[in-house]
């Protein structure tokens, strides 16, 4: 199999929702941040890969999606200068829309510095083994580890950072059609800022 890398256009963080609660042990600020990424596979592949680029047997293409995150206006006052401890509580993903005509394999979420052009040198947050073609996915825990959780906590404190989503898709040579379709991938981050 031949492996090629395709960089897709920048995508956007749409929402960060806040809820404030108080307990007997101190002040707790609940943060609920949802990242929305719309994958437009056909347009990106047509702009970057042609069947002539692939060997006669077809090939697997590594696709990179880039999202710049700026939470300054959403949670800056609560996280920056508040002196509290930020603790990640839950991490989930879901795919509520999916018309992509091929499976997306080895989906990885990587965190990097704000303005980064490449996921190289970033921290892996988690993996999704496969998102099947034309299949939606209900809210599911994102597979991660302690290192990934700590990296996300540090990035949330920094308020601005870059998220890369990497995936592998299989592309067949002509006369097979190029993969097409769109998928909405959402990642829910639930954290808490604790002031004791």
| Predicted confidence (pLDDT) per residue in 63-89, tens digit | 777 888 887 776 666 666 556 677 788
Mean pLDDT, 10 residues at a time, the chain of 196 residues: 41 36 44 66 59 66 80 68 72 90 90 91 92 94 89 85 85 78 84 72
CB 169 within 8 A of CB 63: yes
Gyration radius of the chain over CA positions: 18
Picking from 64, 66, 70, the residue whose alpha carbon sits closest to that of residue 15 is 70
Cα–Cα distance measured from residue 14 to residue 12, given in angstroms and rounded to the nearest whole number: 6
The structure tokens listed for 31 are 């943060």
What are the percentages of helix, strand and coil residues in the chain, rounded to 5?
15, 55, 30
DSSP alpha helix (H) spans, the chain: 41-48, 72-79, 146-158
Q: How many residues does the chain have?
A: 196
Amino acid 47: pLDDT: 53
pTM for this entry: 0.76
CB 92 within 8 A of CB 36: no
Fold of 2-195: Jelly Rolls (2.60.120)
Q: Which residues on adjacent β-strands are paired with residue 18?
A: 31
Amino acid 140: pLDDT: 93
Amino acid 172: pLDDT: 78
DSSP alpha helix (H) spans, 61-145: 72-79
DSSP type of residue 143: B
**Surface-to-core class of residue 100, CB atoms within 10 Å of its CB (0-12 exposed, 13-18 middle, 19+ buried):** buried
CB 195 within 8 A of CB 44: no
**Neighbouring residues of 111: CB distance < 8 A, sequence distance ≥ 6:** 122, 123, 124, 125, 151, 152, 155, 161, 162, 163, 164
Amino acid 13: pLDDT: 38
Pairing of strands 2-7, 59-70: parallel
Amino acid 116: pLDDT: 93
The structure tokens listed for 76 are 């800056």
Amino acid 133: pLDDT: 92
CB 41 within 8 A of CB 98: no
The structure tokens listed for 4 are 């090629």
């Amino acid at each position: 199999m031949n492996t090629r890398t395709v960089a897709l256009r920048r995508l956007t963080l749409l929402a960060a929702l806040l809820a404030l609660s108080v307990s007997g042990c101190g002040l707790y600020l609940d943060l609920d941040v949802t990242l929305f990424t719309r994958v437009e596979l056909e347009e990106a592949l047509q702009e970057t890969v042609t069947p002539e680029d692939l060997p006669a047997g077809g090939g697997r293409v590594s696709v990179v999606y880039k999202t710049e995150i700026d939470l300054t206006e959403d949670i800056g006052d609560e996280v920056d200068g508040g002196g509290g401890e930020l603790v990640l509580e839950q991490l989930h993903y879901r795919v509520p829309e999916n018309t992509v005509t091929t499976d997306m394999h080895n989906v990885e979420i990587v965190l990097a510095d704000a303005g980064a052009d490449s996921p190289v040198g970033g921290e892996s947050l988690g993996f999704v083994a496969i998102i099947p073609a034309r299949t939606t996915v209900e809210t599911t825990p994102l597979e991660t580890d302690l290192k990934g959780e700590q990296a996300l906590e540090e990035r949330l404190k920094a308020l601005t950072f870059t998220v890369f989503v990497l995936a592998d898709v299989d592309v067949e040579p002509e006369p097979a059609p190029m993969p097409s379709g769109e998928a909405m991938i959402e990642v829910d981050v639930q954290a808490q800022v604790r002031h004791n």
